[in-house]
Amino acid sequence: MNRPATRMQSLEDIAACVAGYDPNALPVAQAQDFIARLVPRVQAVEQLAIRSALGRVLARDIVSPIDVPAHDNSAMDGYALRSAELLPGTDTLIGLAGTAFAGAQFSGGVPAGQGVRIMTGAVMPAGLDTVVPQEFIRTDDDGRIRIPAGTVAAGDNRRLRGEDLARGEAALQAGRILTPADLGLLASLGQAEVPVLRRLRVAFFSTGDELRSIGEPLDEGCVYDSNRYTIWGMLQRLGVEVLDLGVVHDEPAALREAFTQAAANADAVITSGGVSVGEADHTKQVMKQLGEVLFWKIAMRPGRPMAIGRIGIRPDAEGRIGEPGHQAMLFGLPGNPVAVMVTFYAFVRDALLAMSGATPQPLPLLRAVSTEAMRKKPGRTEYQRGIVSQASDGRWQVRITGAQGSGILRSMSEANGMVVLHHGQGHVAAGELVDVIPFNGLV
């Protein structure tokens, strides 16, 4: 497996570049800035058939080798003519020299006073520059066609050679996540294959002695592990390869084994649980032993504690898979199910996209009228789960989904968006506009 380029900067170097860096009260924007500076980008390129490349990251700019379309052609079914022969203020009559079909061009000459019946997509016969759509003409008894004055202007209904893509023009830029339209565009260039970056590999596991996996009995005081399923789902949406390492109990040897295996086999490792301040467990200790890891308290709600860094496969690690010197990014998310999702969207999503080589695109924000007042302390970013709908006046409005506790996953499931109350923002009055991240296409 091809690995990301070697990283030069230490975490301290990166922290020094982030204005307002304070690991114990880190604003969301600073944490995002830090992570953007930390993450490496995959390098390995693979060549894929265009149908296999949907959702993949384009590795190189695609320059058009041809003009698309290759010829001037008709945009309508109708009659091609010389615009210079159109009479101002009165009907124009033209004779017909023949017919041009799409894929079967008219190659004869067109004498003065004549035009050519033409189909959509047919090459414009030499000398003709304008197309009158079929529905605007009448045919006279002598077979000539009559074009009422003012029906068309010079150049109407003609598509120009190269108007979609000119030869030598950049058709698609590296870093794009290929869309259905892009696949069509590549096909229009006659390109069978496309260079994409290899998919990112992401390993994840849950930590906590109270966690049980589906199929196990739910012992007293235990909960089913839900985070692995939300994380799996969010990763699927990003199109990365996933490696699910299950639930890991609070035991140093098991945690070391899980982290080592995850780091050896993936570009990024996501854990949930075990990173909060009061944690009595071993997760943080093991993270520290295996890598360079920072423990943050982020000025946000939900999702305050988080670990970030990289863990490595040391050259001396005996018998391990993975390359010596390889390091995987570590995202140690909080345990609470809502906090997991919020921190994933706030930090991990963009980081994984950047690691995948995708050019970052900010999440679209919707401005919606809050139907209710919301209490909010300035100095932290809050993510409230909301239901967005269209009011009778056509404006977007949002209401909050019941209890907002960070363990209440139902609030997330019922929501169709997240209200973002920004760092500096205070209380919100009913009727005020707020920013919402719609889940459509995201969750």
What residues make contact with ligand AMP under the rule CB under 6 A?
206, 208, 210-211, 223, 225-227, 272-274, 276, 279, 334-337, 407
The answer to whether the CB of 196 falls within 8 A of the CB of 53 is: yes
In this complex, which beta carbon is closest to Mg ion, that of residue 172 or of residue 306? 306
In this complex, which beta carbon is closest to Mg ion, that of residue 273 or of residue 357? 273
CB of 205 to Mg ion, least distance (A): 13
CB of 425 to ligand AMP, least distance (A): 26
In this complex, which beta carbon is closest to ligand AMP, that of residue 279 or of residue 382? 279
CB of 283 to Mg ion, least distance (A): 8
In this complex, which beta carbon is closest to Mg ion, that of residue 211 or of residue 443? 211
Return d(Cα 283, Cα 259) in angstroms, integer.
10
CB of 271 to ligand AMP, least distance (A): 9
The reply to whether 162 sits near Mg ion by the rule CB under 5 A is: no
Q: Which does 271 bind (CB under 5 to 8 A by kind): Mg ion, ligand AMP, none?
A: none
In this complex, which beta carbon is closest to ligand AMP, that of residue 97 or of residue 348? 348
The answer to whether the CB of 417 falls within 8 A of the CB of 367 is: no
Phi-psi region of 303 (alpha: psi -120 to 50; beta: other; left: phi over 0): left
- Window contacting Mg ion (CB under 5 A); options: 104-112, 176-184, 206-214, 294-302: 206-214
CB of 317 to ligand AMP, least distance (A): 27
Q: Which does 74 bind (CB under 5 to 8 A by kind): ligand AMP, Mg ion, none?
A: none
Two tokens at 194?
């496309």
3 state SS for the chain:
CCCCCCCCCCHHHHHHHCCCCCCCCEEHHHHHHHHHHHCCCCCCEEEEEHHHHCCCEECCCEECCCCECCCCEECCCEEEECHHHCCCCCCEEEEEEEEEECCECCCCCCCCCEEEEECCCCECCCCCCEEEEHHHCEECCCCCEEECCCCCCCCCCEECCCCCECCCCEEECCCCECCHHHHHHHHHCCCCEEEEECCCEEEEEEECCCEECCCCCCCCCCEECCHHHHHHHHHHHHCCEEEEEEEECCCHHHHHHHHHHHHHHCCEEEEECCCCCCCCCCHHHHHHHHEEEEEEEEEEECCCEEEEEEEECCCCCCCCCCCCCCEEEEEEECCCHHHHHHHHHHHHHHHHHHHCCCCCCCCCCEEEEECCCECCCCCCEEEEEEEEEECCCCCEEEEECCCCCCCCHHHHHHCCEEEEECCCCCCECCCCEEEEEECCCCC
The reply to whether 312 sits near Mg ion by the rule CB under 5 A is: no
CB of 273 to Mg ion, least distance (A): 4
In this complex, which beta carbon is closest to Mg ion, that of residue 182 or of residue 250? 250
The residue written with tokens 């998919």 in the block is 199
CB of 345 to Mg ion, least distance (A): 21
In this complex, which beta carbon is closest to ligand AMP, that of residue 34 or of residue 204? 204
Q: Which residue among 78, 175, 208, 332 contacts Mg ion (CB under 5 A)?
A: 208
Q: Which does 250 bind (CB under 5 to 8 A by kind): Mg ion, ligand AMP, none?
A: none
CB of 248 to Mg ion, least distance (A): 11
CB of 224 to ligand AMP, least distance (A): 7
The answer to whether the CB of 84 falls within 8 A of the CB of 230 is: no
Q: Which does 384 bind (CB under 5 to 8 A by kind): Mg ion, ligand AMP, none?
A: none
Q: Which residue among 115, 273, 312, 337 contacts Mg ion (CB under 5 A)?
A: 273
The reply to whether 334 sits near Mg ion by the rule CB under 5 A is: no
CB of 68 to ligand AMP, least distance (A): 50
CB of 210 to ligand AMP, least distance (A): 5
In this complex, which beta carbon is closest to Mg ion, that of residue 208 or of residue 322? 208
The reply to whether 337 sits near Mg ion by the rule CB under 5 A is: no
Q: Which residue in the shown chain puts its C-beta closest to ligand AMP?
A: 335
**Closest by Cα among 148, 146, 137 to 95:** 146
Amino acid at 76: M
- Window contacting Mg ion (CB under 5 A); options: 219-227, 272-280, 320-328, 434-442: 272-280
**Closest by Cα among 188, 178, 249, 160 to 64:** 188
In this complex, which beta carbon is closest to Mg ion, that of residue 224 or of residue 396? 224
The reply to whether 78 sits near Mg ion by the rule CB under 5 A is: no
In this complex, which beta carbon is closest to ligand AMP, that of residue 191 or of residue 226? 226
- Window contacting Mg ion (CB under 5 A); options: 11-19, 47-55, 216-224, 267-275: 267-275
Task: Tell me which residues touch Mg ion (CB under 5 A).
Answer: 208, 273-274, 335
